[in-house]
A and B are shown apart, each in its own frame.
Chain A
Amino acid sequence: MPFDHAHAVRERFRSLRSRAAFWSLRVHAERGERHAVRQDTPQPPSVSFDRGAMLTAVSDGGYGYCATSDLSRAGLQQALDRATAWAEATRAKSVIRFDARDMPAPRGEYDGPQGDDAPARDAIHDLLAAECRAAKIDARIVERFAAIHLFEDERLYLTNTGADLRQRFRYTLPYARVAANEGADTQSRSLEYARQGGFESVAASGFPGCGARLADEALQLLAAPNCPTGTMDLLLMPDQMMLQIHESIGHPLELDRILGDERNYAGTSFVTPDMFGSYRYGSELLNVTYDPTQAEEFATYRWDDDGTPAAKVWLIRDGLLVAPLGARLSQARAGLPGTANARASNWNRPPIDRMANLNVEPGESPLEAMIASIENGVLMRSNVSWSIDDARNKFQFGCEWGERIENGRRVGVVKNPNYRGVSATFWRGLRMVGDASTFEVHGTLNCGKGEPNQAVHCGHAAPACLFGAVEVFGGG
C-alpha cells in the first residue's frame, strides 16, 4: 500500500493544538507505475510516490487550509498554525460563514475492489509489445503506442471532533492508440479504460488484440468519406455518452458553479436554483443518477473528502430536474438537496463540488431496434474533441469513429464526425435509450476545475442513446 504510517500520523494528530474550534487533517498518499511501449520500443519505466497532508481550520466563521508534505509532528503543527491564521484572517470577510458545528465526524474504513495483482514488469512489457507490434499492419501506420498505468491511492481523514476515516483504492488503466497517415490526412483510433480494480481490468477492457483492431480502424477512417452535414438522428455509443453526460449534465448541475464560485475559471451554469423540481431537462426517457454504489466504477467511494457518507441520488428522473451535484456546504448555501461530492484532487488542494460517478440509467431498447428506427443518421463513438460554453450550454463534440445509418442499416464508416447543440434542448431530443445489454461503465481521468486548479477522475456509465434532429457535420 502507498501509505504505511497511518498509525503514526494519528498519534501526531492527537498531539496537535490550535485556537480554532474545529480542525482536520487529510492525508493523501499515492503510488503509481507507468509502463509503455512506443514504436516497439519500451519506454523507461517510472514510479511515483506522492504523499502529503492538508490541515484545515474553522474559527469564528472563517476557514483556512495549509498543505504540507512534511508529516513530522513539527511539520503538521506548523501547517495547522498557518491554517488557523488563515481562518482568523478570513472571518467576517468570507462569502460563507463556516460553522464548526456543521462538520461531520464519521469513523470507518473502506477498500475499493483490489482485484488481481499486476504481474512482473517483463510480463507487462511483453503484453504491451505484442499489441504495439500487431498494429504494424501497413506502411501508413505512423505511430503505435500501448501503455498500462497502475496506481494505488489511500486517504486518511481525521478531525479534532473524532472523525477517523481510511479509504483505499486501486486502479489499473490500459491505454492504446494507433495513428495512420496518407497525404494531408491523419486519423487515429484509441482504447481507453478507466475503472477501479486490479490487473483483471486489462483483459476485461478488450486490450488483448486491440493493436491490430485499432490499426485496421485507423486505415478504414483514412479511406472513408467525411461525415455528412445536416440535421439527422445521432446514435451515441456509451464511450461518447461519457463525454456528453460529463459536459452537458454534470458540469451544469455542479452547485458551486450555480452559486458562482467558478465564474472566473470553469464557468457558470445555465441551470438556476429555481429549476430544481420543475425544469424539464430531457425527454421522459432521461434518468440520471449520482451513483457511488457500483464498486468498480472509477469514482466510487464511501465518504467524500469532507467526511460525508455517499449514497445514490437521482438528479434527473423521467426527464425532470430533481437535485444538483452539491456537497454539504453548497447544500447549506443554496438550501437545496445534493450529494456527497466534496472532492480534492490531492493533498495540496481543498475539496470543492465535483462530479464523481454520474450515470444515465438504462432504458428498454436493444441496439438493433435503435438502428432499425433510424432513417437518416450517424453512429458515433470515442471522443476526440470537446468544446462547450462557460454556462455549459452551447456545445460541439467530435469523435474518432462514425458510421452512416440509412433506412435502418449501417452502410459505412465516416471520418471526422462532429455534432453541435445546446444542452438546454439537446436532451429533450432523446428518443430511445438502450437496454442493459448496451450499458457500459467508463471513466475519465482529467476533469479540470477549481481555483487553484484541480484535475480529478470521474466515472460515467451509460447505455447507447439515440437523439433526434441533431446538427451533424464532418471535417475539411
Chain B
Amino acid sequence: MKQRFFELAGRLERGLAADETLLLGLDAERSDFVRFNRGRVRQAGSVEQRTLELRIVRAGRQASTTLELGDAAGDPALAAEALAALRDSLDALPEDPWLLINETPASTDTARRGALPAPDTVIDQVVGAANGRDLVGIYAGGTILRGFANSLGQRNWHEVDSFNFDWSLHGAGRAVKGMTAGFEWDRTQFGEQLEAAARALALLEAAPRTIAPGEVRAYLAPRAMEELMGLLAWDAFSGRAHATKQSPLLRMAQGATLAPAITLRETGADGIAPPFQADGFVKPPSVTLIDAGRLGAALVAPRTAKEYGLEPNGAEAGESPESLELGAGTLAQDDVLAALDTGLYIGNLWYLNYSDRAACRITGMTRFATFWVEGGRIVAPVGAMRFDDTIYRMLGENLEALTRERELLLDPSTYEGRSTASARLPGALLRALRFTL
C-alpha cells in the first residue's frame, strides 16, 4: 500500500501547475473483527478500507475532498477526477486567512511489525479458553496504515500491526473487565488474564453492599482514570477552546490549580499514533499540558495557530490528545488496598460528562468491578453508583496519591476505524469522591 500511495502522489504531483500545492493523506486499515457473547462467536468478519484525502492550495485558497479508494487499476483516474474538480472550485473561493501548512519537508517512515493470529486461531483459542464461561467482547486486529505526501517533497508513512481484544467475564449480574492488547498475540497471556478475571469474579459473588450517597474515600484504577482523561480530551487541552474561553479547564487559565503531583503530557513515546498530522507538521516528542498542577501548553492545530498567533505543535484539527501520559506517583500498587483502608475500589468508570462545564464538574457511573474495602481488605462488591464532583477536588485538594506503577492502555475504539490512541496512566487515591445516586 505504501508504494501504491506514494506512486499515486507522484502521478498527481506531475500534473500540478507551478503555483499549486497538493497535500495527500491516507487513512487505511486491514482488520479482522471477532465479536463474542456467552463465550461463543456472535459476528466475525474482515474490513479493508482506504480513505484518501486530497487538498489543493493555490494563492492562499484551499479546498479538500475525501474519497474511498477502490481497485488499484481505477484509483489514479478516480483521484485525478477529484483533483480536477477541486482545482475548478478554487477560483470561486475567498482567501483563507487561517491557512497554514508545513512548508519545510519533514519526511518520516515508521513501521512496527507484529505477530497476529489467523482468524480461525482467534476463534478456536478464545472459545476454547472460555470453555463455556460467559465471556463477551471483541477481538480487533490487523494492520493500521497512515500516509502523508505533499508536492513540496514531503513523504510520511506509519504502519502498525496491532491487536486489541477488549473483553469482560460475566457472572450473575456482575462482571470483570479485561483487555489483552499489543503487537504479538500470546494465548498463554490471554489464558492467565482470563483465569485472573475468573478469580476476581468470584469475589464479586458476595452479597453486594449498598453505599449511601455522599462523600466516600476512593481509589480509581488506571482504567477508571482513562475514562476521566477521555472526557478531558474533549476540549480541555484545545488551543482554540482556551482562546474562546470554552475549555473545561477555564478556571485553570485563571489561576486555579490541581495537585502538584499532576503532570500530564502528550507524548509519542509509545509509538502507536503516527508522528505526523494532516497539514504535514511532525509532532514534537512531548507537550506538557499540565505541569505540577498548573496549566501548561495547549494542543495547537495549524488553523488555531494562524488565527490566534500561536505556534502549532503537531495537533490535529480536533486538538485532542492521542498519547497521554500522566506522571507516576509514589504509592506502590501492592499497597493500594492498605492505603485506601476503608472506601471504594473503582476498577472502571463509565459515561462521563460535564454537570457544569465551566466549573469542570463531572458526573459519571462506576462500572464492572467496584468493591467496598474495609481495613485494607475487599469485603463486598458495590452496584453501579453515580458520582458528581469537580476536577479541582478530584485531582486537586482530594488527591492523596498516585501509584508508582502505570499501565499502558491502548484505546479499543473502532468508530469508522481502529484507534491509534493510547494512554499511560497510574491509579489515583482520593480522600473523597462525591456520590449522588
- Same complex for A and B? Answer yes
Kindly list chain B residues whose C-beta atoms are within 8 Å of the C-beta of A391.
384
B127 an interface residue at 8 Å Cβ cutoff? yes
Kindly list chain A residues whose C-beta atoms are within 8 Å of the C-beta of B31.
452
In order of increasing CB-CB distance, the 4 nearest A-B pairs are A475-B356, A65-B45, A451-B138, A181-B245
Is B246 a contact partner of A455 (Cβ separation < 8 A)?
no
B379 an interface residue at 8 Å Cβ cutoff? no
Is A122 a contact partner of B65 (Cβ separation < 8 A)?
no
Is A348 a contact partner of B437 (Cβ separation < 8 A)?
no
Is A394 a contact partner of B246 (Cβ separation < 8 A)?
no
B388 an interface residue at 8 Å Cβ cutoff? yes
Q: Known interface pairs A42-B94, A94-B42, A453-B415. Does A348 touch B137 (Cβ–Cβ under 8 Å)?
A: no
> Which of A46, A82, A388, A452: most chain B CB closer than 10 A?
A452
B386 an interface residue at 8 Å Cβ cutoff? yes
Is B355 a contact partner of A69 (Cβ separation < 8 A)?
no
**Beta-carbon nearest neighbor of A47 in chain B:** B65
A476 an interface residue at 8 Å Cβ cutoff? yes
Is B436 a contact partner of A46 (Cβ separation < 8 A)?
no
**Beta-carbon nearest neighbor of B361 in chain A:** A475
Complexed CA–CA distance, A65 and B48 (Å): 11
Q: Known interface pairs A142-B245, A394-B365. Does A49 touch B356 (Cβ–Cβ under 8 Å)?
A: no
Complexed CA–CA distance, A387 and B387 (Å): 11
Complexed CA–CA distance, A259 and B119 (Å): 25
A108 an interface residue at 8 Å Cβ cutoff? no
Distance in angstroms from A419 CB to nearest chain B CB is 11
Is B120 a contact partner of A89 (Cβ separation < 8 A)?
yes
Q: Known interface pairs A41-B97, A394-B384. Does A69 touch B68 (Cβ–Cβ under 8 Å)?
A: yes
Distance in angstroms from A449 CB to nearest chain B CB is 10
Is B353 a contact partner of A185 (Cβ separation < 8 A)?
no
A50 an interface residue at 8 Å Cβ cutoff? yes
Is A95 a contact partner of B98 (Cβ separation < 8 A)?
no
Is B46 a contact partner of A67 (Cβ separation < 8 A)?
yes
**Beta-carbon nearest neighbor of B48 in chain A:** A68
**Beta-carbon nearest neighbor of B40 in chain A:** A95
Is A64 a contact partner of B44 (Cβ separation < 8 A)?
yes
Complexed CA–CA distance, A214 and B120 (Å): 55
Size bin of chain A's contact surface? 35 or more
The 0/1 profile, CB within 8 Å of B marked 1, for residues 355-392 of chain A is 00000000000000000000000000000111111110
Chain A residues numbered 80-108 whose CB sits less than 8 Å from any CB in chain B:
82-83, 85-86, 89-90, 93-96
**Beta-carbon nearest neighbor of A179 in chain B:** B246
> Which of A67, A70, A454: most chain B CB closer than 10 A?
A70
Complexed CA–CA distance, A67 and B50 (Å): 12
Is A420 a contact partner of B44 (Cβ separation < 8 A)?
no
Is A389 a contact partner of B37 (Cβ separation < 8 A)?
no
Among B70, B168, B353, B358, the residue within 8 A (CB) of A69 is B70
B38 an interface residue at 8 Å Cβ cutoff? yes
Q: Known interface pairs A260-B37, A475-B359. Does A86 touch B49 (Cβ–Cβ under 8 Å)?
A: no
Q: Which of A71-79, A194-202, A292-300, A318-326 is the interface stretch?
A: A71-79
A-B contact pairs, 20 of them (CB 8 A): A45-B63, A45-B89, A54-B45, A69-B49, A69-B69, A83-B45, A89-B123, A93-B124, A143-B244, A260-B37, A261-B136, A264-B166, A267-B350, A387-B352, A390-B384, A396-B436, A416-B356, A420-B437, A452-B414, A476-B359
Is B41 a contact partner of A49 (Cβ separation < 8 A)?
no
Q: Known interface pairs A41-B98, A260-B136, A387-B351. Does A95 touch B38 (Cβ–Cβ under 8 Å)?
A: yes
Residues of A at under 8 Å CB distance from B?
A: 39, 41-42, 44-52, 54, 63-72, 74-75, 82-83, 85-86, 89-90, 93-96, 121-122, 142-143, 179, 181, 183-188, 259-261, 263-265, 267, 346, 348-350, 352, 384-391, 393-394, 396, 398, 416, 418, 420, 422, 448, 451-455, 474-476
Q: Known interface pairs A260-B37, A264-B167, A389-B367. Does A143 touch B70 (Cβ–Cβ under 8 Å)?
A: no
Given contacts A65-B44, A398-B353, 5 further A-B contacts (CB under 8 A): A47-B64, A47-B85, A90-B44, A452-B31, A453-B415
B369 an interface residue at 8 Å Cβ cutoff? no
Is A396 a contact partner of B71 (Cβ separation < 8 A)?
no
Kindly list chain B residues whose C-beta atoms are within 8 Å of the C-beta of A74.
71
Kindly list chain B residues whose C-beta atoms are within 8 Å of the C-beta of A71.
70-71
Complexed CA–CA distance, A47 and B54 (Å): 10
Is A451 a contact partner of B358 (Cβ separation < 8 A)?
no
Is A93 a contact partner of B92 (Cβ separation < 8 A)?
no
Complexed CA–CA distance, A302 and B119 (Å): 35
Complexed CA–CA distance, A184 and B248 (Å): 10
Q: Known interface pairs A86-B46, A394-B365. Does A75 touch B138 (Cβ–Cβ under 8 Å)?
A: no
Complexed CA–CA distance, A350 and B41 (Å): 14
Residues of B at under 8 Å CB distance from A?
A: 31, 33, 35-38, 40-51, 62-71, 73-74, 82, 85, 89, 92-94, 96-99, 119-120, 123-124, 127, 134, 136-138, 140, 166-168, 170, 175, 177, 244-246, 250-251, 254, 307, 350-359, 361, 363-365, 367, 384, 386, 388, 413-416, 436-437
**Beta-carbon nearest neighbor of A82 in chain B:** B46
Is A142 a contact partner of B414 (Cβ separation < 8 A)?
no
Is B355 a contact partner of A398 (Cβ separation < 8 A)?
yes
Kindly list chain A residues whose C-beta atoms are within 8 Å of the C-beta of B123.
89-90, 93
Distance in angstroms from B427 CB to nearest chain A CB is 21
Distance in angstroms from B10 CB to nearest chain A CB is 22
Kindly list chain B residues whose C-beta atoms are within 8 Å of the C-beta of A349.
47
Q: Known interface pairs A94-B40, A455-B415. Does A52 touch B68 (Cβ–Cβ under 8 Å)?
A: yes
Is B386 a contact partner of A396 (Cβ separation < 8 A)?
yes
Q: Known interface pairs A72-B71, A389-B365, A396-B386. Does A186 touch B355 (Cβ–Cβ under 8 Å)?
A: no
Distance in angstroms from B136 CB to nearest chain A CB is 4
Is B414 a contact partner of A451 (Cβ separation < 8 A)?
yes
> Which of A51, A75, A95, A179: most chain B CB closer than 10 A?
A95
> Which of B124, B246, B413: most chain A CB closer than 10 A?
B246
Is B386 a contact partner of A420 (Cβ separation < 8 A)?
yes
Distance in angstroms from A52 CB to nearest chain B CB is 6
**Beta-carbon nearest neighbor of A48 in chain B:** B66
Q: Known interface pairs A89-B123, A387-B365, A452-B33. Does A348 touch B168 (Cβ–Cβ under 8 Å)?
A: no
Distance in angstroms from A20 CB to nearest chain B CB is 13
Q: Known interface pairs A387-B365, A388-B351, A451-B35. Does A143 touch B48 (Cβ–Cβ under 8 Å)?
A: no
Complexed CA–CA distance, A142 and B358 (Å): 14
**Beta-carbon nearest neighbor of B367 in chain A:** A390
Q: Known interface pairs A387-B365, A394-B365, A394-B386. Does A46 touch B414 (Cβ–Cβ under 8 Å)?
A: no
Distance in angstroms from B363 CB to nearest chain A CB is 5
Kindly list chain A residues whose C-beta atoms are within 8 Å of the C-beta of B175.
263
Kindly list chain B residues whose C-beta atoms are within 8 Å of the C-beta of A451.
33, 35, 137-138, 166, 414
Kindly list chain B residues whose C-beta atoms are within 8 Å of the C-beta of A95.
36-38, 40-42
Q: Known interface pairs A260-B38, A264-B168, A452-B140. Does A52 touch B49 (Cβ–Cβ under 8 Å)?
A: yes
Q: Known interface pairs A389-B367, A398-B355. Does A86 touch B66 (Cβ–Cβ under 8 Å)?
A: no
Complexed CA–CA distance, A70 and B30 (Å): 13
Complexed CA–CA distance, A384 and B361 (Å): 13
Kindly list chain B residues whose C-beta atoms are within 8 Å of the C-beta of A39.
307
Kindly list chain B residues whose C-beta atoms are within 8 Å of the C-beta of A54.
45
Complexed CA–CA distance, A138 and B62 (Å): 31
Distance in angstroms from B253 CB to nearest chain A CB is 9
**Beta-carbon nearest neighbor of B50 in chain A:** A69
**Beta-carbon nearest neighbor of B134 in chain A:** A260
**Beta-carbon nearest neighbor of B254 in chain A:** A184
Distance in angstroms from B424 CB to nearest chain A CB is 23
Kindly list chain A residues whose C-beta atoms are within 8 Å of the C-beta of B33.
451-452
Kindly list chain A residues whose C-beta atoms are within 8 Å of the C-beta of B352.
387
Among B45, B64, B350, B356, the residue within 8 A (CB) of A64 is B45
Among A49, A51, A75, A179, the residue within 8 A (CB) of B82 is A49
Q: Known interface pairs A50-B68, A69-B68, A398-B355. Does A94 touch B41 (Cβ–Cβ under 8 Å)?
A: yes
Among B42, B82, B367, the residue within 8 A (CB) of A96 is B42
Is B167 a contact partner of A44 (Cβ separation < 8 A)?
no
Is A44 a contact partner of B62 (Cβ separation < 8 A)?
yes
Kindly list chain B residues whose C-beta atoms are within 8 Å of the C-beta of A186.
245-246, 250, 357-358
Complexed CA–CA distance, A394 and B351 (Å): 11
